[in-house]
Amino acid sequence: MRNTVILLVGLLGFSTVCAEEPGRFEFEEPHMGTKFRIVLYAKDRATADAAAKESFARVAELNRVMSDYLADSELSKLCAKSTKALAGPVKVSDDLFPVLAKANEVSALSDGSFDVTIGPVVKLWRQARKDRRLPDEDVLKEALSRVGYRKMEVDPKAKTVNLTVAGMQLDLGGIAKGHAADECLKIIAKHGITQALVAASGDIAVSDAPPGKPGWKVAIGRLPGSTAETKYVWLKNAAISTSGDEVQFVEIAGVRYSHIADPKTGLGLTGRRSVTVIARRGIEADSLTKMASILPADKVLPVIDKIDGAATLIVVLTEKGEDVRESKGFGKWVVKE
């Protein structure tokens, strides 16, 4: 689960300002290894309850499709077909295909720094973090031979996926929560609710702004011990994702490694970095955050600047202090006090 470094401002409780205005309601349930929180403005409790209930059910449904922990998930079954013999193109559901297609798109955009075929390496790194010992070099090399987004062929017309190397394993940990948040907003809108926020750990997606506000006010988390002033952003009809290693890290032989593994080395990232990405949808913000976490800022910023509606803030801890970099479009989101 990603370290949560986004702080939601003023989301506790609900209130009704007057009879004509919608009331504020908040819900929370555990899903996908974290807590999903829904905050919305609805005409009454019954409408709010129905929207939240259906949204959480949708998240549970998506988890049964995309989880790499559940042996009977659609994702696990897809990967199992490549374990002993190559299955060729496999038809996948309308729930899974868009996520894999977007993953391939972001992988190409990020030169493979975001890569859902990282599954073999992720499993090794999870064990390494438990054992506090780096994976054996030969074992890691073999796992890396099964990693690479070009080894996953996606056919948009046939909606098929072809895993071209035996033993490939997909991991959607860097994209699934953002997509689930998007899906929740769609369901909430079906109930006639246009002002809503869905938060899943460090991933947040929002629709229209709350009553009387220019947007949902979100505070951007800082590196531990930072003396920099906290930044706030106004969000509406957008998504934001933040990733860091404040909590999820491990020290091995005196080196601090992040829970985020680099698809090219198979090891957790070293150094201290906090990354925030704003995008039009959660599925984009979630996956682009991985690119911004792994690649040097000089390579990330030009890519983000070319994506419509996207912006990023990258803070790297150096020997001289914090190196703060932001894309050209980030400033327009920042709250001007």
Number of domains the chain is built from:
1
Q: Is residue 101 part of a domain?
A: yes
Mean per-residue pLDDT over the chain, rounded? 88
E strand or H helix at 18? none
Q: Is residue 103 part of a domain?
A: yes
pLDDT at 17: 42
Backbone φ/ψ region at 287: left (φ over 0), alpha (ψ -120 to 50), beta:
alpha
Crossing angle of the two packed helices 119-131 and 137-144, in degrees rounded to 10? 150
Please report where in the chains the tokens 């609710």 appear, as a residue.
193
pLDDT at 85: 63
Is the CB of residue 170 less than 8 Å from the CB of residue 68? yes
pLDDT at 18: 45
Query: pTM for this structure?
Result: 0.89
Question: Which range of residues forms the domain containing residue 115?
Answer: 70-163
pLDDT at 247: 54
Q: Is residue 155 part of a domain?
A: yes
Q: Is residue 47 part of a domain?
A: no
- pLDDT per residue over 141-151, tens digit each? 999 999 999 99
- pLDDT per residue over 290-326, tens digit each? 999 999 999 999 999 999 999 999 998 877 878 889 9
84 pLDDT band (50/70/90 cuts)? low
pLDDT at 240: 97
Could you tell me the sign of the dihedral formed by the alpha carbons of 289, 292, 295, 301, in that order?
A: positive
Q: Is residue 192 part of a domain?
A: no
User: How does strand 231-235 pair with strand 238-243?
Assistant: unpaired
Is the CB of residue 286 less than 8 Å from the CB of residue 203? yes
Tell me: pLDDT of 169 over 50: yes
Q: For residues 273 and 58, which has the higher predicted lDDT (pLDDT)?
A: 58
Backbone φ/ψ region at 237: left (φ over 0), alpha (ψ -120 to 50), beta:
left
Task: Name the range with the highest mean pLDDT among 81-95, 281-295, 316-330.
Answer: 281-295
105 pLDDT band (50/70/90 cuts)? very high
Q: For residues 112 and 225, which has the higher predicted lDDT (pLDDT)?
A: 112
The strand ranges marked E within the chain are 6-8, 23-31, 34-42, 90-91, 152-155, 160-163, 196-200, 203-206, 216-220, 231-235, 238-243, 249-252, 255-261, 268-270, 272-279, 311-318, 321-326
pLDDT at 134: 87
Q: Is residue 89 part of a domain?
A: yes
Average pLDDT score over residue span 16-33: 82
CATH number of the domain that residue 76 is part of = 1.10.3980.10
Share of the chain above pLDDT 70, in %: 89
Is the CB of residue 302 less than 8 Å from the CB of residue 312? no
Average pLDDT score over residue span 62-90: 89
pLDDT at 15: 43
In degrees, to the nearest 5, what angle opens at C-alpha 169 toward C-alphas 166 and 175? 145
Q: Is residue 198 part of a domain?
A: no
- pLDDT per residue over 210-263, tens digit each? 999 999 999 887 666 666 677 889 999 999 999 866 556 778 877 888 778 889
pLDDT at 82: 77
Q: Is residue 146 part of a domain?
A: yes
Crossing angle of the two packed helices 97-109 and 282-294, in degrees rounded to 10? 30
20 pLDDT band (50/70/90 cuts)? low
pLDDT at 323: 85
Share of the chain above pLDDT 90, in %: 66
> What distance lies between CA 95 and its chain's CA centroid?
17
pLDDT at 224: 63
pLDDT at 226: 67
273 pLDDT band (50/70/90 cuts)? confident
103 pLDDT band (50/70/90 cuts)? very high
